[in-house]
Structure formats: C-alpha cells, structure tokens
Amino acid sequence: MKLKQIIFSLSIASLAFLTSCGDDASSTPKPTISLKSGAGFVSTTCDVNAASPITFSIDATAGSDALKNIVITCKLANGSTKSLLDTTISGKSVSFTKTMFAQGSVGDAITYTFTANDVNGTSGSTSVTTTVIPYESALDGVAGQKVYNATATGMNKAYNLFTSTAITSGSTGVQDILDKTTSGSQQWSKIWGTGNGSKFVKISSNDYNNAEGTGYIYSLWKSYSATATDQITVAQDDCYLVKSGQDIPFGLYVIKITAVVDLPAVGNNNDYAQFDYKGIIAQ
C-alpha cells in the first residue's frame, strides 16, 4: 500500500513539474513589430501603382534583451512567397524606413509580412495587403500572331504576350498562351491553355475595340475576373481578356481571334489560330 502511495505522489509531482515547464515556455516574452502611419508610408490596406516605390516605417522591440533580425516577405498572386529583406539587428529596439518597388502585377492583391525574430527564439509579425493598380498609359498593338496545333512539328505552339514572342519550346514560365492538343491526337482540339497560370475571360468585341489604355483594361479585369478560367476553346471573332501569369508590372492583355484554320488533310497538323492583341509590350 505504501508503495502505491509513493508512486501516486511521484506521478502528481511529475505532472506538476511538466505543467510548470509548459507554462514557462508559453510565457517566453515575444518581440513586437508594427508599421507607423503617416504621409508617404504604407501601413494599412491600400492601392499602389504597379512597380512604383512604396515606403514602410517599421518599429520593432525585443521581448528579451535583443532582437536577432527583421525579415520582410510578400505573398504573390500565384501563392509563392518572395523574400524582400533579411537584415541583422543588434539591440533591443529598432526604428527604420524601407523603400522598395511595389511587387506583383496589375490586379494582384499582395500581402507583405514583417517579422521580428528575437535572440530568445520567439518571433512577432504584422502584415499589410496592397492592391496593384496601373499607371494610365496607351496600349501597344500587335497583329497577325499565330499559335499552332501542339502536335505540329517545329511550329509555334505557345506565345509570350509580354515580349510578343512565338514559342516552339522552352520554359513554360513565359507561355501565356499554350495550345493544349494532346500528343498523338488525330484532331486539333482548338483549346488554349497556359504554361504559367495565365487566366482568360471572354469579353465583347466592343470591349476589345474600346481598349486603348491601361485603365480601361484594368476596369474590365475588376468587372470580369470572377469568371476567369485557365482554358478556352478558340473561335473566329471571339475576344478575350488575358491576365498573364508572368511576374510583370502590367500583365493584362486583350485578344481578338482573327482566324481559326483547321486543315482537313489527314496527317497535316499545321492547324493554327491567328490573333491580334493589345497591352503593354516590352520594347
């Protein structure tokens, strides 16, 4: 009986010790970090122009004797995280401003996260989200471009809208438009997809004709983005708004399909869709 009492007493003591240890760990002081408001500083949800300089005013204080570092990251529209700053800090507190170019493409919601890491192993963070909007600018125009059946030998099966470049093969990261006909298929699918996450929205011919500036295209995207898809079936005279999956400041384009050439001869896979488009194109 005494042995049972001793074991019971030891168990209670061990439990109390573990509980106490857990309390100590959870109460370890954490650093704090905040964004100061004021003229010229981004501190709350707001709109920012594409690729424009933006400035953050940052205050951080250690939970212990000293901070370790301050890290700034952002979450891009494709879900990836981009590192923007990782700076070593010595001392208990720090206040500084950081200016950088706005990340993302027009229409993106970009979340910036600011993290203070303490020498005691804890951390604190704060975040702010910006929506990227365009500077007003006239659009460039390109006519007579072609994307061929993907099974055609040596022909352009994809297209980079930003550089106005037809693509035979290579990195999918620049393939805004990609013919999706599968290998071995006897029929051209007439389906366009993308290699980089671009999105397509069908628009009217009036929308295409009226698109002369960046502001107009951006207003189309705000109105129709909820119906965006990653694949379309092309037909002559159809018009589309495309949001490029590339990480470029202005990635919105309007496209008009001007011809769909489906060759009837068996074994001739040089079918193609021809199109005109407008947007901001690299010079």
Q: For 259-269, what is each residue's pLDDT tens digit?
A: 999 998 878 89
Q: What is the pLDDT of residues 173-220, one digit of tens each?
A: 999 999 999 998 989 999 999 999 999 999 999 999 999 999 999 999
- The SS3 of residue 224 is helix
pLDDT the model gives residue 262: 96
- End-to-end distance of the chain based on CA atoms, in angstroms? 90
Q: How far is CA 39 from CA 5, 49, 55, in A?
A: 70, 16, 10
Mean pLDDT confidence for 143-166: 97
Q: Which amino acid is at 136?
A: E
Residues 6+ apart with CB under 8 A from 26: none
d(C-alpha 115, C-alpha 108), whole Å = 22
Q: Give the position of tokens 């011809």.
A: 259
- The SS3 of residue 269 is coil
Q: Does residue 56 surpass a pLDDT of 70?
A: yes
pLDDT the model gives residue 24: 53
pLDDT the model gives residue 8: 42
Confidence tier at 42 by pLDDT (50, 70, 90): very high
CATH number for the domain whose boundaries are 32-133: 2.60.40.3880
Structure tokens at 200: 């397509």
d(C-alpha 263, C-alpha 167), whole Å = 21
Is residue 107 within 8 Å of residue 225, measured between CB atoms? yes
CA neighbor of 114 nearest in space, from 167, 161, 168, 60: 60
Q: Where exactly are the structural domains of the chain? A: 32-133, 140-279
Portion of the chain with pLDDT greater than 70, in percent:
91
pLDDT the model gives residue 19: 45
pTM, rounded to two decimals: 0.81
pLDDT the model gives residue 280: 97
Q: Does residue 151 surpass a pLDDT of 60?
A: yes
Q: Does residue 283 surpass a pLDDT of 80?
A: no
pLDDT the model gives residue 153: 94
d(C-alpha 246, C-alpha 172), whole Å = 10
Residues 6+ apart with CB under 8 A from 255: 208, 239, 240, 241, 242, 275, 276, 277
Q: Which amino acid is at 218?
A: Y
CA neighbor of 171 nearest in space, from 194, 145, 154: 194
Mean pLDDT confidence for 59-82: 94
DSSP 8-state secondary structure symbol assigned to residue 230 = S
Mean pLDDT confidence for 66-90: 95
**Torsion angles phi and psi, residue 10, rounded to 5:** -65, -40
Q: What is the pLDDT of residues 85-109, one digit of tens each?
A: 999 998 999 999 999 999 999 999 9
Least confident stretch, 27-31, 146-150, 197-201: 27-31
Mean pLDDT confidence for 213-230: 96
Instruction: Between 186 and 277, name the one with better pLDDT.
Output: 277
Q: How far is CA 206 from CA 48, 87, 209, 240, 256, in A?
A: 29, 51, 5, 11, 11
Question: 26: part of which helix (H) or strand (E)?
Answer: helix 2-26
Q: Give the position of tokens 């055609």.
A: 152
- The SS3 of residue 213 is strand
